[in-house]
Amino acid sequence: MTDFARDHAFSIAWFGLMTMVWLGWAQEDPPASWRWRLGLGSGVGVVLAGLFGLAVALRWSEPSALDGQYHWFGVLVAAEVVAAGVGCLLLALRGRSRWMAWWVAVVVAAHFVPLAALLQDVSVAALGLVQGVGLAWLVPRLRGSDISTSRYVGPVMGVALLGFALVSAGVFLVEYGVPWSS
């Protein structure tokens, strides 16, 4: 994990928020038995986002691995958005819009590798690798169905992000204490 407390807190907060996004997308068409789990996971993600968002605010003046690298971070995010958008446009034009969630997830998982280099945090690359393996594992199941890929992709991405955020929060608590102190 990163040696920068502010970056560590931001990753936890962001991944908590993205947990809610991915588990929310999974709620597009979930089996009834999954709904409460998706909602609970989303709620835990929101709590992590709030607590560790506060930690980011309290540590804002501390150094970041991105100091002097913000332009590269912007390039990475722009490339991610363009890749996701162009891929979704092509899928829509080909009548394969049900694959959009899967495509966006692949782009997100792949972007964790260069992001890990920018953040000087190899665990972020490991998260992307876990997500990539999970997404590849889903392909045969998704090909054999006509449902939106969000049903399965959302939980894969959301659970991976939530698991990472929870483990990372535990490490943060051991290293830095509670998020509301600086």
Are the beta carbons of 72 and 111 closer than 8 angstroms? Answer: no
| pTM passes above 0.85 | yes
Are the beta carbons of 179 and 52 closer than 8 angstroms? Answer: yes
Are the beta carbons of 53 and 13 closer than 8 angstroms? Answer: yes
CA within 13 Å, CB half, 61: 2
CA atoms of 131 and 109, how far apart (whole Å)? 6
The residue type of 141 is R
The pLDDT tens digits along the chain (182 residues) read 788 999 999 999 999 999 999 999 999 889 999 999 999 999 999 999 999 999 999 999 999 999 999 999 999 999 999 999 999 999 999 999 999 999 999 999 999 999 999 999 999 999 999 999 999 999 999 998 888 899 999 999 999 999 999 999 999 999 999 988 87
Q: How far apart are the first and last CA of the chain?
A: 19
DSSP H helical ranges for the chain: 5-26, 35-58, 70-93, 100-119, 122-143, 150-176
- DSSP code at position 34: G
How does 73-85 read in b/e, with b if 16+ C-beta sit within 10 Å?
A: beebeeebeebbe
Are the beta carbons of 85 and 32 closer than 8 angstroms? Answer: no
Are the beta carbons of 44 and 19 closer than 8 angstroms? Answer: yes
Q: Where are the domains of the chain?
A: 5-176
CA-based angle 106:14:110, to the nearest 5?
Answer: 20
